[in-house]
Copies of this chain bind each other. A is one copy, B any other.
Amino acid sequence: MEKSLKRMATMHKMQVTGLELFYRKGYYNTSVDEILKELSLSKGAFYYHFKSKEDFFISILQQLVVRKIYSMLIEPIEGHDNPLDLISSCLDESLQMAEHNENDYGFVLSNFITEFNGKNPEIMKYLNDTLKIWEVNLVSALQRGKFNGFVDRHVDCEGAASYIISSYIGIRTMMVEGSATALRYRYMQQVKFFFRAMANKQTA
């Protein structure tokens, strides 16, 4: 195999396994040794590719977490259909994925925000920036919806966007306890109720 490709492949494997364990057990409660044991790799290999555990984690955020957010929560709401419908089904699909995931431990972003808050400003910045990206995309989707006559012109798009995010963070946290199906169903009912109240009543 070509060198740079091999390098990439190894680094990628480490990142995937690293994210898996960091997500499941938290960053501080996952040792580098543990990740390497899972992969049958040596410490030498790890520190050959990454400066430190922190450097490793930041690379995971950049390579995997941001992309995941994009594909799950941002790309699905692009387009010129009714943004309220787009957002609603996007949320539902994300929750369904979590629901059917045997190993669900909550919303990856908010979990890490909770863990790193007050401890690591650099990582916090990455996490908050990623959340912000989702937020601005929600806002512009809603504004587009106003322009296209789907969303009532009195709606505060920024407020609605952060309200949507907050409720999503919360429901994902609550879903880890078990009764995910019931929670998702009721949550989606409320979201739809909320969205109906935001819809433009002129053009049905």
Contacts and interface: CB of A to CB of B under 8 A. Distances in A.
Interface of A: 24-26, 28-29, 105-106, 110-111, 113-115, 117-119, 124, 128, 131, 156, 158-160, 162-163, 165-171, 173-174, 176-177, 183, 186-187, 189-191, 193-194, 196-197
Nearest to A191: B163
B163 A190 contact: yes
B177 A162 contact: no
B131 A105 contact: no
Nearest to A155: B193
22 contacts: A25-B119, A26-B28, A29-B119, A106-B117, A110-B114, A110-B173, A113-B177, A114-B115, A115-B115, A131-B174, A131-B177, A158-B186, A159-B189, A162-B171, A162-B183, A166-B168, A167-B170, A169-B169, A169-B174, A170-B171, A173-B173, A197-B197
Given A115-B114, A118-B105, A170-B166, A124 B186 contact: no
A94 to B, nearest CB: 14
B174 A162 contact: yes
Nearest to A174: B166
A17 B103 CA distance: 34
B171 A166 contact: yes
Contacts of A105: 117-118
Contacts of A193: 197
A113 B190 CA distance: 23
